């Protein structure tokens, strides 16, 4: 729900910035000044109340109003200090001293002199595929800030040195203090306030700020976060152009393209390859030792071309401030096109002990993801058993069983991503209205001709309206590719017009779902999942329960089907987790992780929206509702006998 509000505000600010850029800049500057006035005004008022209460006691003696002034001043100071306290957390990774990698620090110094930016205090090797400079404020800005370069080990393994230098130059450009200073300052402030934004997303943390600060931040923070997002995205384009002046436009364009393509390969190909090793390995194995050998040598040429097209035509999202690859290349005035990938990497720049860094990160990864590895090993084993049971009977399977067979092959990568398409098409021939088969076909978008794609997507939009926004995104991606490949302009224009009408309808439906959830909650009228028109397969329930069993600190979980009033006959799949004593941000991270798991492994998540919530967020009313729904309980750790907690339901045949 917060994400929908954020998207709407961002769209409004984008329109305002396009209509009158100067006025929008003044608006953002005014919001920044307002925050400063609020904080400093609160501090000065608190100090003034304390000073008045103490001085009046010294010179005029004691009277009752001094007690009010003293405690009001203390409360105000505590409230402001809670609001402005540093949320800095030391970066997760391996801190590498400059003496270990002198050549990298020499390159950093050359870039710094060109940008005229601050010195990098520390290099931290992280597990992420990315690169950023983190700013550490000290004593609320009274002492000079420290800057940490967070270099992802996968990125250092993926690209060569010139392209890494280009990416560092782009990141360093955000630290400029001259050209476009307002955009750069807002960009840096947004990064510094990320911790505050995450902390205050928890209503319990918000209420600890005091009445006035809570009201102000509830009004101010969502608006500032959306406005600063628009400014930060503008600053990304400015930083691209500035870095291109120092390293050349072609090199900057090549670096952006390769980082995008390798990032997609890393997400879609490498992690699939790595997790599939759980079939043979009972104990988790770190990914970085494997990564070092395959990042430069395992990319299929055809996949690279398709991956580049998908990245180039991907729409700009709201998850991060960088624009789409197409917008960035256009901003640099670089012609689109796939250039050769790097044939070397930058591991030598990390010093002689780079193998030791790989070993340490592998060990940390295994400790953190050990329970996920065991869960996925069980899921792969169960999926293989289910495929072995269905495959010999393939000619005699009904439509639903055919879809299950295809999905098991697809979701666990037992076959190529598009190999199950004929199985899904056979299921549609047997049962043209089969929603699972239609959703599976519509979500496959590589290896299919565009006419079939758009036809499946149109049918899915009509038959599964609750997921209309997802079908519109896929269709717009197809149309972007058609525009680039010189198809008939008139037909593409007409198709785009049709899908824009559907997109408007999908946005209206999303807003209606948001309003319904806000007004009535996640549990109103919830039923057992067996009441769904397309209930969970036994294999889907088994995969879910395996994840639940291996989820740390999970006590109970409910899976419910919640009818949607705004869409007659449609449902939302509601997963409620009970993790007592877990911090709000930890629950949010788990929610994102689980959404990825379930959308990959449960085909049902392509038929209806998935709502994940936590017991703490439901309040007393939600707890009473859950108590009346024992049939929705799919996991209860207290009821599982010790030593026999398999966590998996039987796999039906």
Q: CA nearest 230: which of 10, 34, 23?
A: 10
pLDDT mean over 106-127: 87
Position 642 confidence tier, pLDDT thresholds 50, 70, 90: very low
Chain centroid to CA 334: how far? 29
Tokens representing 310? Answer: 């998908």
Query: What's the Cα-to-Cα distance from 466 to each of 297, 327, 566, rounded to whole Å?
Result: 42, 30, 10
Position 584 confidence tier, pLDDT thresholds 50, 70, 90: confident
Name the least confident of 404-413, 415-424, 458-467, 600-609: 415-424
Q: Where are the alpha helices (DSSP H) in 201-210?
A: 203-207
Could you identify the residue written with the tokens 């989820």?
551
Residues 159/165/171/174 CA torsion (nearest 10 deg): -160
Q: List, for residues 23-54, the tens digit of each pLDDT value.
A: 988 988 888 888 888 888 888 888 888 888 88
Q: Name the most confidently modeled range: 3-7, 106-110, 348-352.
A: 106-110
Q: Which residues contact 470 (CB under 8 A, 6 or more apart)?
A: 606
Q: CA nearest 481: which of 230, 598, 307, 343?
A: 307
Position 646 confidence tier, pLDDT thresholds 50, 70, 90: very low
Position 641 confidence tier, pLDDT thresholds 50, 70, 90: very low
Residues 169/170/171/173 CA torsion (nearest 10 deg): 80
Q: What is the pLDDT of residue 643?
A: 36
Q: What is the pLDDT of residue 60?
A: 79
Q: Is residue 17 pLDDT above 80, yes or no?
A: yes
Q: What is the pLDDT of residue 169?
A: 92
Strand order in the sheet with 610-614: 610-614, 571-578, 556-563, 633-636
Q: Is residue 504 pLDDT above 70, yes or no?
A: yes
Q: Is residue 587 pLDDT above 80, yes or no?
A: yes
pLDDT mean over 629-636: 89
Q: List, for residues 85-103, the tens digit of each pLDDT value.
A: 666 677 888 888 888 888 8
Q: What is the pLDDT of residue 651?
A: 30
Q: Is residue 582 pLDDT above 70, yes or no?
A: yes
> Got the DSSP string for 13-27?
HHHHHHH-HHHHHHH
Tell the burial category of 308 from Cβ atoms under 10 Å away from its Cβ (0-12, 13-18, 19+). buried
Q: CA nearest 338: which of 252, 257, 259?
A: 257
Q: Name the most confidently modeled range: 90-99, 137-146, 455-464, 479-488.
A: 455-464
Q: What does pLDDT average to over the chain?
A: 83
Q: Name the most confidently modeled range: 7-21, 187-201, 581-595.
A: 7-21
Tell the burial category of 643 from Cβ atoms under 10 Å away from its Cβ (0-12, 13-18, 19+). exposed
């Amino acid at each position: 729900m917060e994400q929908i509000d954020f998207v709407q505000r961002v769209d409004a600010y984008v329109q305002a910035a396009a209509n009158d850029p100067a006025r929008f800049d003044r608006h953002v500057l005014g919001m920044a000044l307002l925050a400063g006035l609020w904080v400093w005004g609160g501090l000065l008022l608190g100090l003034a109340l304390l000073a008045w209460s103490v001085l009046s006691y010294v010179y005029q003696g004691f009277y009752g109003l001094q007690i009010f002034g003293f405690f009001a001043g203390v409360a105000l100071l505590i409230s402001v200090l809670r609001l402005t306290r540093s949320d800095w957390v030391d970066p997760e990774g391996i801190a590498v001293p400059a003496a270990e990698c002198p050549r990298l620090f020499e390159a950093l110094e050359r870039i710094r002199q060109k940008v005229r930016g601050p010195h990098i205090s520390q290099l931290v090797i992280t597990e992420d595929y990315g690169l950023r400079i983190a700013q550490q404020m000290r004593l609320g800005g009274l002492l000079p800030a420290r800057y940490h370069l967070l270099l992802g080990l996968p990125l250092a393994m993926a690209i060569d040195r010139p392209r890494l230098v280009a990416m560092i130059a782009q990141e360093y450009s955000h630290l400029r203090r001259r050209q476009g200073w307002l955009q750069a300052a807002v960009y840096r402030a947004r990064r510094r306030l990320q911790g505050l934004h995450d902390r205050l997303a928890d209503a319990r943390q918000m209420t600890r700020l005091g009445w006035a600060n809570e009201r102000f931040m509830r009004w101010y923070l969502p608006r500032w976060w959306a406005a600063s997002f628009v400014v930060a995205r503008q600053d990304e384009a400015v930083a691209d152009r500035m870095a291109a002046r120092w390293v050349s436009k072609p090199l900057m364009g090549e670096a952006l393209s390769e980082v995008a393509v390798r990032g997609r390969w890393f997400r879609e190909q490498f992690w699939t390859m790595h997790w599939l090793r759980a079939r043979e390995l009972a104990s988790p194995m770190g990914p970085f030792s494997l990564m070092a050998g395959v990042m430069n040598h395992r990319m299929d040429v055809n996949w690279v071309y398709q991956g580049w097209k998908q990245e180039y035509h991907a729409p700009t999202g709201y998850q991060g401030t960088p624009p789409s690859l197409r917008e960035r290349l256009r901003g640099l005035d670089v012609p689109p096109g796939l250039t050769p990938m790097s044939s070397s990497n930058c591991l030598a720049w990390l010093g002689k002990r780079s193998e030791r860094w790989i070993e340490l990160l592998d060990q940390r990864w295994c400790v953190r993801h050990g329970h996920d590895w065991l869960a996925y090993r069980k899921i792969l084993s169960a999926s293989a058993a289910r495929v072995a049971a269905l495959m010999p009977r393939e000619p005699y399977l009904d439509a639903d069983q055919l879809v299950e067979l295809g999905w098991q092959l697809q979701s666990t990568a037992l076959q190529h991503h598009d190999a199950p398409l004929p199985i899904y098409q056979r299921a549609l021939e047997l049962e043209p209205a089969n929603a699972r088969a239609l959703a599976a076909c519509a979500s496959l978008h590589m290896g299919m001709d565009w006419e079939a794609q758009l036809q499946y997507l149109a049918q899915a939009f009509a038959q599964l309206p609750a997921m209309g926004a997802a079908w519109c995104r896929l269709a717009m991606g197809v149309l972007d590719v058609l525009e680039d490949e010189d198809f008939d302009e008139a037909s593409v224009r007409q198709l785009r017009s049709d899908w824009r009408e559907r997109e408007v309808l999908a946005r209206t439906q999303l807003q209606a779902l948001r309003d319904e959830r806000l007004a009535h909650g996640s549990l109103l009228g919830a039923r057992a999942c067996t009441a769904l028109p397309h209930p969970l397969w036994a294999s889907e329930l088994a995969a879910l329960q395996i994840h639940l069993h291996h989820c740390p600190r999970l006590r109970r979980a409910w899976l419910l089907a919640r009818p949607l009033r705004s869409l007659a006959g449609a449902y939302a799949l509601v997963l409620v987790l009970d993790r007592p004593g877990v911090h709000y941000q930890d629950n949010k991270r788990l929610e994102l992780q689980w959404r990825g798991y379930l959308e990959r492994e449960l085909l049902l998540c392509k038929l209806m929206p998935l709502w994940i919530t936590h017991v703490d967020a439901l309040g007393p009313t939600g707890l009473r509702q859950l108590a009346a729904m024992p049939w929705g309980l799919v996991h209860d750790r207290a009821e599982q006998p010790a030593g026999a907690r398999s966590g998996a339901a039987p796999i039906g045949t």
